[in-house]
């Protein structure tokens, strides 16, 4: 299997991501310039798009374009180059968003998932749910 990114190799992509982007009328390539990683619903009932923009400064036109989106709410980063863009959505979508949230198996933030995967690797935890994906990613890199 070929992965776009390390993030996607380890965590995959939320099964609802394409629908969430469609609700917002966003395109992972046109709007995020190849930096798109995932989209998911948060417990605040917002849509978050996770992206990696290496070397992109706050005044870059990509930030400006996203921040002008009619449903843009906020953005944040806990690690340089990785951003979480939050969007609200039209009320008509609430039942759909609620259903997606109910069927989301892993409700932790991206940062929480990264920290757990890193801790599991460092501790030698061979029961981590990420192990098969980590092995596949390593094999792809080493192949």
Q: Alpha-carbon distance 98 to 134, whole Å?
A: 31
Q: Alpha-carbon distance 138 to 143, whole Å?
A: 8
Q: Alpha-carbon distance 112 to 84, whole Å?
A: 13
Q: Alpha-carbon distance 97 to 89, whole Å?
A: 9
What is the C-alpha radius of gyration for the chain, rounded to an integer number of angstroms? 16
* pLDDT single digits (tens) 29-42: 888 877 899 999 98
Domain 12-107: state its class: alpha beta
Q: pTM of this prediction? A: 0.82
pLDDT over threshold 90, residue 1: no
Domain residue extents for the chain: 12-107
Backbone angles phi, psi at 89, to 5 degrees: -145, 165
* pLDDT single digits (tens) 92-139: 999 999 999 999 878 888 888 888 877 877 887 777 776 777 676 666
């Amino acid at each position: 299997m070929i992965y776009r990114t390390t993030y996607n190799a380890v965590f995959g992509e939320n099964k609802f991501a394409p629908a969430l982007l469609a609700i917002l009328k966003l395109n992972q390539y046109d709007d995020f310039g190849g930096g798109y990683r995932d989209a998911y619903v948060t417990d605040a009932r917002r849509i978050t798009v996770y992206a990696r923009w290496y070397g992109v400064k706050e005044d870059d036109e990509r930030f400006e374009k996203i921040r002008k989106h009619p449903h843009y709410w906020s953005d944040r980063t806990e690690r340089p180059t990785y951003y979480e863009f939050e969007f609200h959505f039209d009320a008509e979508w609430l039942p759909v968003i609620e259903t997606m949230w109910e069927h989301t198996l892993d409700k932790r933030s991206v940062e929480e998932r990264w920290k757990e995967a890193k801790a599991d690797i460092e501790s030698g935890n061979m029961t981590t749910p990420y192990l098969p994906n980590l092995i596949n990613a390593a094999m792809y890199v080493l192949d």
